[in-house]
């Protein structure tokens, strides 16, 4: 059965119409999806290193969770599969761009809205002179990603496995005095890395 020119035109118009409707629906669906939490990258800071296998390190961590900016202090439980146990947590008014340690206390300096604020180890805002703010973390490490081996070389000395090459580390901090335990920060999350033994 041969198709007339009119029928062919109608068929083509319908095909184009359904393609446009599908594209429009796809664009609307993607536009209405919630903002992914990794738009705001996690920021972490080691507050206390672990002295041995029974001593848990303490970490300050900013994350965007459930559409809220959260700053928390966690204990990394070495004898419980390195689970993060919340010690204290507060909501912030926005996303900080930097966390820094204090020279004498176990609190954290938070850079938010073009100013520094000091939070105590209980995450209470305290008045404190910025001269006590360190310029960097003493536990921050230099690292190099070895893609072909799916490993990370830390301080040209230690290696850990790279679990997800599409989510590489953006920062690495020593969690233990013997450098066997590391805090790994990526654009999407924070995790624990263990040094590979030879």
Q: What is the pLDDT of residues 144-195, one digit of tens each?
A: 988 888 888 898 888 888 877 778 899 999 999 999 899 999 988 898 988 8
What pLDDT shows up at residue 26? 67
Q: What is the pLDDT of residues 109-122, one digit of tens each?
A: 999 989 999 999 99
| Entry pTM | 0.75
Cα separation, 90 vs 92, whole angstroms: 7
Position 175 in a domain? yes
Pick from 92, 129, 102: nearest CA to 45: 102
Task: State whether residue 16 is helix, strand or coil.
Answer: helix
Domain total for the chain?
1
Position 93 in a domain? yes
The residue written with tokens 């409707």 in the block is: 21
Strands 108-112 and 83-92: unpaired
Position 27 in a domain? no
Position 29 in a domain? no
- Residue 104 backbone class (left: φ over 0; alpha: ψ -120 to 50; beta: rest): alpha
Position 176 in a domain? yes
Contacts of residue 173, defined as CB under 8 A and 6 or more positions apart, other chains included, come to 44, 45, 46, 137, 139, 140, 141, 182, 183, 185
Cα separation, 135 vs 190, whole angstroms: 22
Q: Which domain holds residue 59?
A: 38-194
Q: What is the pLDDT of residues 24-52, one digit of tens each?
A: 776 766 555 444 445 789 999 999 999 98
């Amino acid at each position: 059965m041969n198709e007339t020119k009119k029928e062919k035109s109608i068929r083509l118009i319908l095909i184009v119409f359904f393609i446009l409707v599908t594209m429009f629906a796809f664009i609307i669906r993607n536009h209405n999806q919630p903002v992914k939490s990794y738009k705001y990258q996690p920021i972490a800071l080691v507050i206390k290193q672990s002295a041995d296998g029974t001593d848990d390190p303490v970490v300050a961590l900013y994350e965007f969770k459930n559409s809220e900016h959260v700053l928390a202090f966690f204990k990394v439980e070495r004898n419980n599969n390195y689970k993060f146990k919340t010690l204290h947590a507060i909501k912030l008014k926005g996303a900080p761009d930097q966390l820094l340690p204090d020279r004498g206390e176990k609190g954290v300096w938070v850079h938010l809205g073009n100013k520094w604020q000091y939070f105590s180890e209980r995450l209470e805002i305290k008045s404190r002179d910025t001269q006590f703010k360190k310029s960097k973390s003493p536990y921050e490490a230099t690292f190099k990603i070895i893609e072909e081996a799916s490993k990370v070389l830390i301080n040209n000395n230690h290696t850990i496995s790279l679990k997800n090459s599409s989510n590489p580390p953006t920062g690495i901090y020593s969690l233990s005095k013997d450098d066997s335990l590391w805090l790994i920060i990526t654009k999407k999350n924070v995790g624990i890395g263990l040094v590979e033994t030879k």
